[in-house]
Chains A and B, each alone.
Chain A
Amino acid sequence: MSWEDELQSLARDREDEYQSSISQMVLEHPGTLRKQLRHYLAEQANRGTLKKTYDNVPRLVTIDERLQELVCEDVEFQSDSRLSFKIKLEFDQRGWLVRQFKFDLLLAGRSINRVSIHLNPVAGYDPLKVPRCHFHIGNGEAHIPFPIMSPRLMLHLLCEHIESDPEL
């Protein structure tokens, strides 16, 4: 096997692990997850991290009976940073599973202007170049592999650790 083929094989293994993690991560009903995320954001507002409480964020969009999407167009931090996200959830016999998400954090007044964490709906043609779950730093094109985790943890990571990091 060539060096390139070995790397492709390792990357495909990583994609299989992503799929396995997704399959095992059964989430709450999207309506409940919406309330949990809204509550988390409200707590951030209580602590003065966000500029205000957002009563209707995220919104729940029903695409069809097995596919729903949680949409947060924009919440604003005291620092003027802004966060938006979309989380697509799919129902199968195990329950509600995450199918796709996009978290985009625009950092105000920092050396890095943006951090984005994306989960693509399916594994890409070239997992070496575009891992299914990846993050972007700034406006860079590099797709850096990122672990799959609950959207609640993802939101916490962005609000508590990335947005508040003065070194970024």
Chain B
Amino acid sequence: MIDFSTTTAFRLVRRLVMGQGSAAMYLLIYEEGTESLIETDLRAEVDVQLSSALPIGRVSELLDVDALLGLPDSGPIRVLRIDRWSPDLVTLLDTHVIRLEQTGAQFLFLTTPALAEQLLVEAPNFRNRLTDVLRFIPDDPSGGGGH
């Protein structure tokens, strides 16, 4: 797998804040076992930097065509987990990616390395529309990694 750049919730949300008002789609790849930590980080950073709550849903919710086409307004940042492989879902995502883009929202797709690899190969339209693909790691409060 390509060695994608690494980011944390702090850096990512800063980037999203800078790009507020413009559509964006990020594929965020987390290591197995870190899902809960990175979701907690993401919620906390959105709370601190944007003073808003962050609902996190499953990408399978998009299988509901009404949800995909109507996309009820749930804030400027929408987080969707891709936690299992579904050919129907990938086809739908690949076909309707432009509709997602047209909502003007910033989409964060959370997934594992294995699913990301499969997705990038089998959903070329989706891949081409991605703003970035990033390795998403938990924040280290003790300051590991230097500054």
Q: Which of A35, A55, A60, A61 contacts B147 (CB 8 A)?
A: A55
B residues 22-80 touching A (CB-CB < 8 Å): 44-45, 48-49
Task: Tell me the bound Cα distance from A108 to B44 in angstroms.
Answer: 35
Residue of A nearest to B14 (CB): A42
Q: A35-B10, A38-B10, A42-B14 are in contact. Are A56 and B45 (CB under 8 A)?
A: no
Question: Are the CB atoms of B142 and A59 closer together than 8 Å?
Answer: yes
Chain A residues within 8 Å of B142, by CB: 59-61
Question: Are the CB atoms of B8 and A55 closer together than 8 Å?
Answer: yes
A124 in contact (CB, < 8 A): no
Q: A39-B48, A39-B49 are in contact. Are A57 and B143 (CB under 8 A)?
A: yes
Q: A34-B141, A35-B10, A42-B14 are in contact. Are A56 and B147 (CB under 8 A)?
A: yes
A26-55 contact mask (Cβ, 8 Å, vs B): 1 or 0:
000001101110110010000000000111
Task: Tell me the bound Cα distance from A36 to B44 in angstroms.
Answer: 10
Q: Which of A36, A38, A42, A56 contacts B144 (CB 8 A)?
A: A56
Question: Are the CB atoms of A36 and B141 closer together than 8 Å?
Answer: no
Q: Which of B11, B48, B140, B145 contacts A36 (CB 8 A)?
A: B48
Chain A residues within 8 Å of B145, by CB: 55-56
Task: Tell me the bound Cα distance from A87 to B135 in angstroms.
Answer: 32
Residue of B nearest to A28 (CB): B48
Chain A residues within 8 Å of B140, by CB: 56
Residues of A within 8 A of B (CB): 31-32, 34-36, 38-39, 42, 53-61, 71
Residues of B within 8 A of A (CB): 8, 10-11, 14, 44-45, 48-49, 140-147
The 6 A-B pairs at the shortest CB distance, nearest first, are namely: A59-B143, A60-B141, A56-B143, A56-B147, A35-B48, A54-B147
